[in-house]
């Protein structure tokens, strides 16, 4: 194996996800091109690389790096280049020159050991000197940790997360127990197990078995929506992934239960095993809602009718009987559920309740699970609605993983009435947090469509509450005249009733374009987005049109469609900056989506300059800037929030020209396009199609095979979720 020692003169290409880098290195007066896994390199660094020479037919001789080590710069020119590379805050090329002129070859020693001396440089305050010092030490430590994780196939972005969690003790902590990493988002059981195997730890290593059990339960929660698993199912799955005997798994379950991490309870049919977090949330939600169900208020019928009549007069709308019953129910009960499909008047009810309550001097809070849903609620009701996370004032936790709220049982919300829209999207953990912060004497109105897909997270909260009969539930079924004019609304109800939608009336807003071949389907969708819809209706190709698909994979899945649509709608251009992300290329102008909750991600609201934390799974925005020098990307989200992502965090984003139906929940789009082609039967369900169609405000287009559409409509199978909320609410 040959070696090269020299100075990094320039970075040609860098993949932040896997560390693959192409750079120019000067050595003995000559310039060489190096390729290979060299994460986190900066211009001006000295390195020693080990590998072999290879000849590239296009780029000529290149040195293929197998391993490398960093050598701190020694000469004044090397130090100046290193400091001026932009790797440290507050130091540009001019400041780097001043530092080297003052401290010479001792400049790096001064930064590491006497950072206060940096204040001798004009423009560097004590605060800036400390920030430079901290970043310098972090750079050294992080790079060492990145190299350590590199041999296990762990990406630089995950390596940085590990450093943020454990600091300088990261390597020693991982060597003692690789499964300490499982508390960090992104470090799956598989990754931790791979590290464990590389360290030749035994299969029956107790922390491994415990981590495997928790992984099974966590996957059951976030992939299938279960709050618990039957013990038999848990044992079988854990045995399979761990490769150990049942007895070892049972012993670990006992250990975890004794330590308060798991809870076992008898359902009457089988033993259920919960992660304690979900057990606590489920029992607390059931208890609070049962308590609220027992509080009934005496209402003067004449007075109530008068208030409703006044509200009708002001709005110019006469309520239907079911709507009037819903309003009355809010006055008579502490907690009420209002459910119904599109066009059944849920918004009219909310506006009426707000009108009456405000006149009575009541404090009202409106909330919804997503930014888009909250924005729509604000526009329709004329009263500001906040996302649940913003309402509860989410606060940062460790590396964005520990969800905490400033509003809780000790710091209640300041409201007399809380109205929650899009309740079908609320999972058991979020419901628990919401009820903890709800004042004891406040009323709760839960509004949603129980026929839509359940929440992405664990639990089946809205459906469980309705089916328990513990609370007053008003189901709206009448479609009002104005809604009847929209075939989107009419067809949504037809689909929900198991009837084929009516398509292709040229004067309506619901169409099906028949295609038999998946290639033709994809090309038709691309043509609709780029040419036909903008030309015919004036819709913007990126901001107003949304492709929604049942699946992530296959030719008509999210990944494939995003690649196609990006190439057509936002192709590479000479002056358009782009950056390789995790599995895709990002360009200025791209539509992107946050793919995981990050509770400590910082944002600034452009309209008023306000700041806050938290970017959440499903938030959609647009790339407005990619700064290759500062190594960050700016995203403007739909609700006027601007967030800056460093390149190591780009794995939190994905292209969003096409999204899954699950990710579309709580949002509305002017135009929705959905492919109709064969996929997994579990994804070809009536409620999935119903959910997709109801996302469209002005135009819904299905593209594909009629027989596939029939399969969607006919398949009313709903995946069973293990959830104990319904039964717990029924207990008296």
How far apart (Å, rounded) are the C-alpha atoms in residues 208 and 192? 9
Q: What are phi and psi of 585, to 5 degrees?
A: -100, 130
Q: What are phi and psi of 597, to 5 degrees?
A: -70, 130
Structure token digits, residue 516: 């038999």
Q: Is 167 left (phi over 0), alpha (psi -120 to 50) or beta?
A: left
HSE on the CB side for 275, CA within 13 Å?
22
For 686, counting Cβ atoms within 10 Å of its Cβ (0-12 exposed, 13-18 middle, 19+ buried), the class is buried
Give the length of the chain: 732
How far apart (Å, rounded) are the C-alpha atoms in residues 197 and 257? 26
Three-state SS at 551? coil
CB 339 within 8 A of CB 329: no
Three-state SS at 52? strand
Question: Which residue ranges in the chain fall short of pLDDT 50?
Answer: 398-401
Structure token digits, residue 551: 């699946």
Structure token digits, residue 90: 């507050």
Helices 189-198 and 206-224: angle between axes, nearest 10 degrees? 160
How far apart (Å, rounded) are the C-alpha atoms in residues 454 and 720? 11
Cα 265 from chain centroid (whole Å) = 32
* DSSP type of residue 550: S
Query: CA-based diameter of the chain, in Å?
Result: 96
Q: What are phi and psi of 581, to 5 degrees?
A: -110, -155
Q: Of 61, 1, 17, which is closest to residue 35 (Cα–Cα)?
A: 61
Please provide the DSSP assignment of 181-200 as one string.
Answer: GGGSTT--HHHHHHHHHHTT
Q: What are phi and psi of 55, to 5 degrees?
A: -105, 120
Intra-chain end-to-end CA distance of the chain, in Å: 75
Could you identify the residue written with the tokens 């931790």? 192
How far apart (Å, rounded) are the C-alpha atoms in residues 13 and 85? 16
∠ at Cα 338 (335, 340), nearest 5°? Answer: 165
Could you identify the residue written with the tokens 């020299």? 6
CB 192 within 8 A of CB 186: no
Q: What's the confidence (pLDDT) of residue 512?
A: 94
CB 95 within 8 A of CB 123: yes
Residues in CB range of 432: below 8 A, 6 or more apart: 280, 281, 282, 284, 285
Q: What are phi and psi of 408, to 5 degrees?
A: -155, -160
How far apart (Å, rounded) are the C-alpha atoms in residues 477 and 345? 9
How far apart (Å, rounded) are the C-alpha atoms in residues 661 and 680? 14
CB 635 within 8 A of CB 623: yes
| pTM, full prediction | 0.78
Structure token digits, residue 404: 């905490």
Q: CA separation (Å) from 179 to 2, 221, 720? A: 37, 20, 31
Q: CA separation (Å) from 178 to 10, 418, 478, 503? A: 36, 44, 57, 56
Structure token digits, residue 715: 């398949």
Helices 231-242 and 206-224: angle between axes, nearest 10 degrees? 120
How far apart (Å, rounded) are the C-alpha atoms in residues 540 and 676? 23
CB 466 within 8 A of CB 335: no
Q: What's the confidence (pLDDT) of residue 401?
A: 45
Cα 658 from chain centroid (whole Å) = 15
Q: What's the confidence (pLDDT) of residue 400?
A: 40
For 247, counting Cβ atoms within 10 Å of its Cβ (0-12 exposed, 13-18 middle, 19+ buried), the class is exposed
Helices 346-359 and 301-315: angle between axes, nearest 10 degrees? 110
3-state secondary structure 600-654: EEEEEECCCCCEEEEECCCCEEEEEEEECCCCEEEEEECCCEEEEEEHHHHHHEE
For 29, counting Cβ atoms within 10 Å of its Cβ (0-12 exposed, 13-18 middle, 19+ buried), the class is exposed
Q: CA separation (Å) from 363 to 419, 590, 592? A: 11, 40, 36
How far apart (Å, rounded) are the C-alpha atoms in residues 14 and 206? 39
How far apart (Å, rounded) are the C-alpha atoms in residues 724 and 282? 7
Q: In what order do the strands lie in the sheet with 271-275?
A: 228-230, 271-275, 262-266
How far apart (Å, rounded) are the C-alpha atoms in residues 533 and 654? 24
How far apart (Å, rounded) are the C-alpha atoms in residues 673 and 254? 50
């Amino acid at each position: 194996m040959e070696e090269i020692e020299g100075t990094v003169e320039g970075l040609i290409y860098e993949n932040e996800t896997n560390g693959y880098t192409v750079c120019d290195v000067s050595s003995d007066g000559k310039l060489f091109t190096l390729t290979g896994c060299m994460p986190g390199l900066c211009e001006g660094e000295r390195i020693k690389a080990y590998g072999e020479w290879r000849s590239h037919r296009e780029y000529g001789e290149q040195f293929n790096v197998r391993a490398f080590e960093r050598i701190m710069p020694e000469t004044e020119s090397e130090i100046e280049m290193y400091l001026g590379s932009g790797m440290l805050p507050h130091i540009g090329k001019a400041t780097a020159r001043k530092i080297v002129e003052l401290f010479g070859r001792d400049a790096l020693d001064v930064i590491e050991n006497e950072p206060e001396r940096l204040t001798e440089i004009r423009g560097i305050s004590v605060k800036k000197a400390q920030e430079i010092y901290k970043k310098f030490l972090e750079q050294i430590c992080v790079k060492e940790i990145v190299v350590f994780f590199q041999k296990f196939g762990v990406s630089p972005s995950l390596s940085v997360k590990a450093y943020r969690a454990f600091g300088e003790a990261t390597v020693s902590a991982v060597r003692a127990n690789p499964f300490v990493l499982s508390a960090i988002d992104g470090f799956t059981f598989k990754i931790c197990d791979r590290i464990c195997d590389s360290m030749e730890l035994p299969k029956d290593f107790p922390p491994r078995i415990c981590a495997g059990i928790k992984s099974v339960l966590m996957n059951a929660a976030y992939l299938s929506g279960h709050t618990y698993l039957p013990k038999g199912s848990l044992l079988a799955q854990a045995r399979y992934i761990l490769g150990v005997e049942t007895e070892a798994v049972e012993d670990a379950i006992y250990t975890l239960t004794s330590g308060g991490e798991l809870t076992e309870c008898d359902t009457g049919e089988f033993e259920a095993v919960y992660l304690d977090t979900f057990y606590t949330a489920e029992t607390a939600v059931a208890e609070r809602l049962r308590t609220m169900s027992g509080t009934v208020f005496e209402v003067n019928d004449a007075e109530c009718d008068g208030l409703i009549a006044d509200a009708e007069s002001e709005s110019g709308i006469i309520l239907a009987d079911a709507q009037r019953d819903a309003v009355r129910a809010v006055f008579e009960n502490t907690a009420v559920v209002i459910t119904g499909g599109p066009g059944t008047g849920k918004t009219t009810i909310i506006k009426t309740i707000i009108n009456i309550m405000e006149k009575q001097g009541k404090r009202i809070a409106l909330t919804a699970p997503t930014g888009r849903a909250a924005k729509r609620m604000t526009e329709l009701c004329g009263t500001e609605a906040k996302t649940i996370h913003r309402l509860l004032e989410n606060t940062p936790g460790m590396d964005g993983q520990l969800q905490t709220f400033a509003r809780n049982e000790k710091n209640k919300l300041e409201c007399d009435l809380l109205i929650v829209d899009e309740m079908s999207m609320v999972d058991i953990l979020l419901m628990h947090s919401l009820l903890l912060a709800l004042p004891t004497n406040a009323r709760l109105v839960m509004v949603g469509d129980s026929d839509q897909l359940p929440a992405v997270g664990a639990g089946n909260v809205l459906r469980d509450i309705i089916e328990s009969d513990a609370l007053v539930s008003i189901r709206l079924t009448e479609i009002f005249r104005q809604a009847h004019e929209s075939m989107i609304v009419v067809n949504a109800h037809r689909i929900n009733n198991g009837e084929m939608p009516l398509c292709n009336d040229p004067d309506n807003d619901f169409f099906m374009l028949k295609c038999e071949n998946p290639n033709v389907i994809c090309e038709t969708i691309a043509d609709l987005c780029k040419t036909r819809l903008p030309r015919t209706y004036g819709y913007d190709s990126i901001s107003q049109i949304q492709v929604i698909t049942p699946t992530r994979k296959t030719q008509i899945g999210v990944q494939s469609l995003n690649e196609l649509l990006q190439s057509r709608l936002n192709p590479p251009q000479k002056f358009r900056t782009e950056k390789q992300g995790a599995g895709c290329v990002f360009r200025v102008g791209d539509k992107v989506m946050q793919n995981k909750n990050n509770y400590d991600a910082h944002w600034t609201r452009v309209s008023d300059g306000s700041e806050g934390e938290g970017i959440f799974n499903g938030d959609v925005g647009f790339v407005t800037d990619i700064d290759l020098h500062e190594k960050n990307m700016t995203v403007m989200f739909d609700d006027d929030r601007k967030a800056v992502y460093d390149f190591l965090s780009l794995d939190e984003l994905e292209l969003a020209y096409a999204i899954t139906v699950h990710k579309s929940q709580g949002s509305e789009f002017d135009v929705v396009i959905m492919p109709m082609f064969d996929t997994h039967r579990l994804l070809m369900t009536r409620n999935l199609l119903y959910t997709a169609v109801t996302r469209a405000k002005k135009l819904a287009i299905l593209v594909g095979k009629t027989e596939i559409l029939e399969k969607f409509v006919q398949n009313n199978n709903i995946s069973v979720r293990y959830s104990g909320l319904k039964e717990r609410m029924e207990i008296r």
